[in-house]
Amino acid sequence: MDAKRIKKILSTASPPNLRNYTSSSSFTWEKSLAELDGLPEEKGINIAHEAVDRHVLRGKGSDIALRFIDKAERITEFSFQQLKDASNQFANVLKTLGIKKEERVFGLTNRTPELYITALGAWKNRNVFCPLFSAFGPEPIKARMLIGSAKVLITTAELYRKKILKIRAALPELQHVILIGQQKLEEDFKDTLNFQDLLASASTDFTIEPTKPETMALLHFTSGTTGTPKGAIHVHQAVVAHYITGKIALDFHPTDIFWCTADPGWVTGTSYGIISPLTNGITSIVDEADFDAQRWYRILEMEKISVWYTAPTAIRMMMKMGTELVRQHRLPQLRFIASVGEPLNPEAVYWGMEAFNLPIHDNWWQTETGGIMIANYISMDIKPGSMGRPLPGIEAAIVKRLPNDKLQIIHEAGVKGELALKAGWPSMFRGYLHEEERYKKCFLEDYYLTGDLATCDEEGYFWFVGRADDIIKSSGHLIGPFEVESALMEHPAVAEAAVIGKPDPVALETVKAFIALNQGFQASEALKLEIIGFARKHLGAAIAPKEIDFLDSLPKTRSGKIMRRLLKARELGFPEGDTSTLETSL
């Protein structure tokens, strides 16, 4: 499976931060922590201090921290000094409102400056930031705010009227709603405050109170791909991982211009859209608009993006449009592209070479891990289809849960098992809020069990097989959807594919594929047969799909993940379960 590899030739002009993976054994979390400040006078560690104030203290106050592009492509810039002032003001607002340590501040808005100021201000006041996708409907918003005991909500007047008004009475713990933009003196807006007015009347001086490394900082809901979303708790100490993973896995250098396309409603948009680039002192671009290939290529060019972090779903959408459009743009600054969220098919890695003259570097992590755990580093050969190797400081293993609640570590290369991580890295989640049992079940002996199946090869590269819930058992084979989907993607007609197991009296399950076609291809019986034949040739008859359905598009979560469980439920006529994060559930 690892016959093909993309050999890396390193430029000596800007040597990578991780020069040589195999000699990275001197890495320790303590050394990473030592690269940060900690609060003055040993008063602990606070994410916002490391992200913003630290750079101002070092004379970098005038450097640009964030460049926001609104939907109309107007730009608003914040230097580290401006961000320090604005977040201090918002911390003062929260303090004045009486919001106490570890109480929850929810954000429900597009990717606008106010959301980022809210996050930083909340951390400074030692509150917990909890971001929600602004596209969520009232019910998912209510459910998450109830679980999180939301004390404050920051949103826009428009979203408030559309989504919050009708649920506000059902949120008895919600003390303050702060609206961005000018709300008129209307009945709808009684009992709300105005973000700009509050900020304008608050002081830009704020001293962060002592913050213990274990103080809760973030409540992040998982994507809900496999079931009901869980509220993962993260603490201030996580900043050590946010910082160092940006430096090592995304290779941040001081002059980089970085673009993370994820929304903070998904953990990537918080860990790598806010914390990681800021702690590394680099400039980040934040685009308010949703995916649009033309706009994205324009941003890459105009903003001179050098490091770009995006998701397989976006890459597949770009692939669907071919390389003609991207070729109309000059992107000489772009030097590193990474992707997370779903398996990255080898096809996508090769397409990156064609379109950008750069491979796409897959990396793997979860809401629960808080930061990148396994990655294809800039200095390391890429084996397309592999997630890469564990971050220095992270011990990953392929394991089997034994019936007596013991753990067996599988040392043999290529054998499928559950991906597990030795517990104890700084950004490891500290709980699922109000679900202690569920949290405990994730740990066995010294390991955190991820719920994903993978294999590891002789060189320590990890290969994603599928989520434990999505594995198909057919005629004695354990089939990972990724393997089948990647083979299907190689057919020129296939833009996206998702496979499920369908109960079968003889084989236990058979493989069924759902396919969205590339432009210029028409669904037909003949094409079905052709694709099935193609898959058989590549995978063998036992693993290739027996059945194919063509769909215009595949159901996805707001964070862009294909919801196989939904396809399966629909196929088998089962209830659809929690669809609160479904992209089209507005």
Structure tokens at 422: 């030795």
Name the region of 41 (left: φ>0; alpha: ψ -120 to 50; beta: rest): left
Among residues 395, 456, 388, 401, the alpha carbon closest in space to that of 424 is found at 395
Q: Are strands 417-422 and 396-401 parallel, antiparallel or unpaired?
A: antiparallel
Binding test (CB under 6 A) with ligand ATP, winner from 464, 514, 534, 550:
464
* Chosen from Mg ion, ligand ATP, none, partner binding at 343 (C-beta under 5 to 8 Å by type): ligand ATP
From candidates 107, 229, 269, 384, binder to ligand ATP by CB under 6 A: 229
For residues 161 and 181, what is the distance between their CA atoms, to the nearest angstrom? Answer: 13
Nearer to ligand ATP, 113 or 555 (CB): 555
Burial of 118-147, coded b for 16+ CB within 10 Å and e otherwise, reads bbbbbbbbbbbbbbbbbbbeeebbbbbbeb
What string marks each residue from 219 to 258 as x (binds Mg ion by CB under 5 A) or -? ---x------------------------------------
Considering beta carbons, is residue 151 or 467 the nearer one to ligand ATP?
A: 467
**Minimum CB–partner distance for residue 420 and Mg ion (Å):** 14
- Name the minimum Å distance from CB 225 to ligand ATP: 3
Draw the binding track, 316-355, toward ligand ATP (x: CB under 6 A; -: no contact). Answer: ------------------------xxxx------------
Interacting span for ligand ATP (CB under 6 A) from 41-49, 50-58, 141-149, 221-229: 221-229
Contacts of Mg ion in 286-305 (CB under 5 A): none
Helices (H) and strands (E) in the chain, counts: 19, 28
Chosen from Mg ion, ligand ATP, none, partner binding at 103 (C-beta under 5 to 8 Å by type): none
> What's the token pair of residue 438?
């569920």
- Shortest reach from residue 466's CB to Mg ion, in Å: 13
Minimum Å distance from CB 53 to ligand ATP? 29
What are the structure tokens assigned to 564, written together?
A: 């196989």
Cβ proximity to Mg ion, 53 vs 368, nearer residue: 368
For position 387 contacting ligand ATP by CB under 6 A, the verdict is: yes
CA distance 563 to 582: 8
Cβ neighbours of residue 232 closer than 8 Å, sequence gap 6 or more: 219, 220, 221, 222, 267, 367, 368, 370, 429, 431, 432, 433
DSSP code per residue over 387-422: -BEEPTT--EEEEEE-TTS-EEEE-STT--EEEEEE
CA–CA dist 373, 375 (Å, integer): 7
Residues in 264-323 at the binding interface with ligand ATP, rule: CB under 6 A: 266-267
Query: What kind and span of H or E run contains 156?
Result: strand 150-156
Residues 231 to 270 in contact with ligand ATP, rule: CB under 6 A: 266-267
Binding to ligand ATP by residue 452, rule CB under 6 A?
A: yes
Choose between 153 and 465: whose C-beta lies nearer to Mg ion: 465
Identify whether the C-beta of residue 517 lies closer than 8 Å to the C-beta of residue 552: no
Task: Judge whether 480 and 540 are in contact, CB under 8 Å.
Answer: no
Within 555-584, the residues that bind ligand ATP by CB under 6 A are 559, 561
With CB cut-offs between 5 and 8 Å by kind, which of Mg ion, ligand ATP, none does residue 463 bind? none
The minimum distance between CB 373 and Mg ion, in angstroms, equals 13
Q: What is the 3-state secondary structure (H, E, C) of 505-543?
A: CCCEEEEEEEEEECCCCCCCHHHHHHHHHHHHHHHCCCC
Query: Closest CB to ligand ATP among 151 and 234?
Result: 234
Residues near Mg ion (CB under 5 A) are 222
Residues near ligand ATP (CB under 6 A) are 222-227, 229-230, 266-267, 340-343, 362-364, 366-367, 387, 450, 452, 464, 467, 559, 561
